[in-house]
């Protein structure tokens, strides 16, 4: 069964460093998402991406964040200068259509020291 | 704006019994979708069940069913014949295209513990 994959599963970084989180969505899906979950809290939407551009973003997704689909399979989230409060689980999700179910990857647990 | 409320931070159930996890929602969208996801301790988000706002029947998927009461704006998850492996965090989520695009809005979650 097709699934969303994410790498790395865990990442530890120093405050101020750049990190890139990688995702491979399900192959025939067209809509891609990033969500984050701070430890013990609910899942929050960051950004959605369709047709090689951002379709919507939340207030969390400020200038330090960017997304890219560098090739036909990968979808990345870059955090330019990490802060302590960026420590969270980051989930990638994909769906084949706006009215369809979003399937989540296993997440990347980011720890900023 | 959309809002999901899960009022049960924690629930306990005996193995083989049924349990209901509550979810209420608020939206001005005329058309929306409701979802339940399971998050085990390992952290991944597993899709369980979906209910469309115009679906005439309550959704069912194996041991999972969704008790959808549109007038009350509730979408409770019912797990029948609980198993030890059902112990996890459960999140209710919704999507309303007109007011919030395709993003999912999640509730705070309910931690379910199945006792042997």
Tens-place pLDDT, residues A63-111: 999 999 988 789 999 999 999 999 999 999 999 887 789 999 999 999 9
> Is there a contact between B91 and A43 if contact means CB atoms under 8 Å apart?
yes
Average pLDDT for chain A = 94
Note the pLDDT of residue A61. Answer: 96
Q: How confident is the model at residue A2 (pLDDT cuts 50, 70, 90)?
A: confident
> Is there a contact between B103 and A101 if contact means CB atoms under 8 Å apart?
no
| Rounded Cα distance, A35 and A102, in Å | 11
| Rounded Cα distance, B6 and B93, in Å | 10
Note the pLDDT of residue B100. Answer: 65
Note the pLDDT of residue B99. Answer: 65
| Rounded Cα distance, A86 and A81, in Å | 10
Collect all residues of chain B within an 8 Å Cβ-Cβ radius of residue A43.
Answer: 45, 91, 93, 104, 106
| Rounded Cα distance, B11 and B36, in Å | 16
Q: How confident is the model at residue B105 (pLDDT cuts 50, 70, 90)?
A: very high
Collect all residues of chain B within an 8 Å Cβ-Cβ radius of residue A42.
Answer: 91, 106-109
> Is there a contact between B102 and A45 if contact means CB atoms under 8 Å apart?
no
Q: How confident is the model at residue B78 (pLDDT cuts 50, 70, 90)?
A: very high
Tens-place pLDDT, residues B42-65: 999 999 999 999 998 999 999 999
The nearest CA of chain A is from the CA of B18 a distance in Å of 25
Residues 35-74 of A with CB under 8 A from B: 35, 41-45, 48, 55-56, 58
Q: List the single best residue of A2, A47, A87, A104 to mutate versus B (max B Cβ within 10 A).
A: A104
Residue B97 has pLDDT above 80, yes or no: no
Place of tokens 């159930």: B13
Q: What angle do CA A72, A75, A77 make, to 5 degrees?
A: 155
DSSP label at residue B76: E
Collect all residues of chain A within an 8 Å Cβ-Cβ radius of residue B2.
Answer: none
**What Rg, from alpha-carbon coordinates, does chain A have?**
13
Note the pLDDT of residue A100. Answer: 85
Closest-CA residue to B35 (of A35, A48, A40, A101): A101
Q: Please list the alpha-helical segments (H only) found in B1-116.
A: 97-100
The pLDDT of A19-31, averaged and rounded, is 94
Q: A51: buried, middle or exposed (CB in 10 Å: 19+, 13-18, 0-12)? A: exposed
Beta bridge partner(s), residue A109: A10, A89
Note the pLDDT of residue A1. Answer: 76
CB atoms within 10 A of CB B59: 20
DSSP B80-107: -S--GGG-EEEEEEEE-HHHHTT--EE-
| Rounded Cα distance, A20 and B21, in Å | 36
Average pLDDT for chain B = 94
The pLDDT of B70-77, averaged and rounded, is 96
Note the pLDDT of residue A71. Answer: 87
Note the pLDDT of residue A80. Answer: 96
> Is there a contact between A104 and B45 if contact means CB atoms under 8 Å apart?
yes
Collect all residues of chain B within an 8 Å Cβ-Cβ radius of residue A48.
Answer: 101-103
What the block records as the tokens of B53 is 């706002």
Q: Under a CB-based contact definition with an 8 Å cutoff, are residues A19 and A13 in contact?
A: yes
Note the pLDDT of residue A113. Answer: 97
The pLDDT of B57-86, averaged and rounded, is 97
């Amino acid at each position: 069964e097709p699934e969303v994959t994410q790498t790395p599963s865990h990442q530890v970084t120093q405050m101020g460093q750049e990190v890139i989180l990688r995702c491979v969505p399900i192959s025939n899906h067209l809509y891609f998402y990033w969500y984050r979950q701070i430890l013990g809290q609910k899942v929050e939407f960051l950004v959605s991406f369709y047709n090689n551009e951002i379709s919507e973003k939340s207030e969390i997704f400020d200038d330090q964040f960017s997304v890219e689909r560098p090739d036909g399979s990968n979808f990345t989230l870059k955090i330019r200068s990490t802060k302590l409060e960026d420590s969270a689980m980051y989930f990638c999700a994909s769906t084949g259509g706006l009215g369809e179910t979003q399937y989540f990857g296993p997440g990347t647990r980011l720890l900023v020291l | 704006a959309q809002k999901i409320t899960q009022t049960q931070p924690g629930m306990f159930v005996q193995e083989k019994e049924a349990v209901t996890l509550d979810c209420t929602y608020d939206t001005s969208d005329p058309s929306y979708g409701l979802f339940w996801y399971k998050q085990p301790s390992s952290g991944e988000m597993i899709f369980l069940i979906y209910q469309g706002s115009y679906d005439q029947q309550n959704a069912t998927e194996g041991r999972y069913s969704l008790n959808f009461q549109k007038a009350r704006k509730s979408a409770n998850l019912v797990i029948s014949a609980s198993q030890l492996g059902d112990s996890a965090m459960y999140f209710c989520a919704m999507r309303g295209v007109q007011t919030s695009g395709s993003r999912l809005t999640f509730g705070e979650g309910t931690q379910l513990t199945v006792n042997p």
